[in-house]
Structure formats: C-alpha cells, structure tokens
Structure 1
Amino acid sequence: METLQERFATLERRLFVENFLDEQRTIIPNFLFAYHGEQEAHVNQGVQKILIKSKEHEKKIVEVNLFDVFTTLFAEELEDVFILAESEGLEMLLDAVEPTLNDSDSLVEAFNNLSKDSDVVLLTGVGTAYPIIHTNGLLKRLATSGHSKPIIVFYPGTFNGTQLKLFDRYEVVEDEYQIYVIA
C-alpha cells in the first residue's frame, strides 16, 4: 500500500506531467482521493502544494471546501442558521436547510461561484460539511446540471469500489454516479 506522500506524488504526476485528466474520456469526471481522518493536516498541506504547483504549470486548479458551499448558499441567513443550530440542535437545522439543499439550482450555483473558471476542482471539507451537505448529493446535482470539469474529492474515509465509508464509520452506497480513484 502506498504512503500518503507517494499517493500525492502520483496525483501531482497525473495533474502536471501525464495530463491524466485531459486524457480521461469519462462522461462525469469525478475522482476520489480517500484518506484516513487522522491524516487531515497532511492532506491539507498536500492540497496547498498542488495549488502552488498549478500556478507554476499554468493550470487553473482551485480548492472548493464543501462547508464553504454551504456558507455561500446561506450567506444572507448565516447568522440565523448558526443561532438555530445552537438553540434547536442539528436535527432542527437539517430540517430547516433541507429545502434549499434539495434545490439543485441553488446548490450548483453556490458551487460554481466558488469554482469560478477553473479547469480542475479540488473538493475538500467533506468531513466538515457532514451531515449538512453530502458529497454524493452535490456530485449528482452537478452531473445533472451538465457540469463537466474534473472534480477530485478529498474524502476522509475509505472506498471499496462501490461504497464510501466516511470516517470509516458511515456507509454510503455509491451507485448514483461514477467516481474513480485517482491516487
């Protein structure tokens, strides 16, 4: 099994040397970089290194934090959202934000505002946004909206080819969209 450092070297090679993403002919270019939650700080450093290298290679790669998608979506009501979470709890918050999160146009628009005119999106913050926003929900909505930019999801958990397990605890069956392990 490769170390995290070796996997980041593979990812960098695919992004900057091999043009791996340019050669992919998948209809929906969603890629996965799964890791153990305790490696979060090292993963964040690896993502920052990729962003710096992307400028050297003149590639438009941006990081989008999934929790930032949530805060962008609820920017005008953010203070009220946090007050609701504190006073009524997570379950009430989830009930309150669900209609907006289920509105594909709003969620896709918030994501697109953060991803700008990038060629590749590095999606981070998956664990931070859970259980408010689920990765699979965002990716499904992006796919149905015609989004075709490659997205590399940095996922704190494991993937066995058909199921993602967030934090190695929560199982999510991934049969609604395509995702490929990139490194």
Structure 2
Amino acid sequence: MRHRCFWVTDSKLYQEYHDNEWGEPVYDDATLYEFLLLETFQAGLSWITILNKRENFRKAFDSFDYHKIAKYPESKYQSLLQDAGIIRNKLKVRSAITNAQLFIEVQKEFGSFSNFIWSYTDGKPIINQFHKREDVPATTALSDKISKDLKKRGFKFVGSTVIYAFMQAVGMVNDHTTDCFKYPS
C-alpha cells in the first residue's frame, strides 16, 4: 500500500488529487487561475469541501475561463449567489470576478500569469524536506511576499495562508512529506 502525506484521508477523490495533482508544477495560466479561484473559495473551509464541489465550480464558472469571468455582468453574479453547488459567499464570488480581471492585467504586464507567479521561485519548485505534520508551515516569508504583492495589485482573498496553499497545489513548493511515495527522490 502506498504511503501518502498525513492530510490524505481514505476518500478516493482526495487520494486521486494528492497522487495526480497536488505538488505537480503548473505553468498553464488557465489551470493557475482555476487553482487561484478554488483556493480563494477554500479560505476558512476544508479542501475536501472544495474538491467535492470542484465540478460544480467548473460548471458555474464557465470551466474557469477567466476571460469570461472577468466580464460577468451583475446578473451572472446574482445567479452565482443562488447556485447551491458552490460556496455562496458574496465576497468570494465577487472576488472571483475581480481576480479574473486582475489576472488579465498581470498577464499583460508579464506576458503570462505563470511568468509572474513563477518568477518568485526562479521558475522551479522549492523542494522542502518535511518529515511530519508539525514541520509543514501554513505560511512562509515567500507566501507573505506574494500575498502582499497580489493585495497591492487589488486581488482579494489572497492572504498568506491561501497563497501558501496555492503554492503547494500548483507545485511552486513540493511539500510531500519525506515518507510519502510522491516525495522526489
């Protein structure tokens, strides 16, 4: 039996996410936006809650097409607040729209969001060597720095904890514990 990171439950969905996505470097802007949106909705909730609703989010938010989301009219915002398949937090729904607009602004400035976000790690994942749950931080100086920069640009729900979780999800940091079968050897 494969040994996984401490946070993985016996949920097949969680195991598949851990085994195939979490910590894998993502350089594609569409996928980066998807994770940014999902992580901002996750703030204050468990990740499994978001994973269980991921396909609902995909349907509600036009397959995470940030170009479409950036142009959502008030009527779409209101309909999202009625969608029981997603997290119906007014501020988070509004932030998805605002963040899509700002995501496009960052693309214009840096050529892609990927160029911008990966510049913080020189384009390579940071491989950590955490042995147990207590070793894995919720934030780091780097997540603090990225969070501050994104907030300065107007992004919402991008506190340091959200950004560190985003960094883990998109492989900017590899936080698989050393006893996990996904830990790079």
TM-score by length of 1: 0.27
Which structure has greater helix proportion? 2
Which structure has greater strand proportion? 1
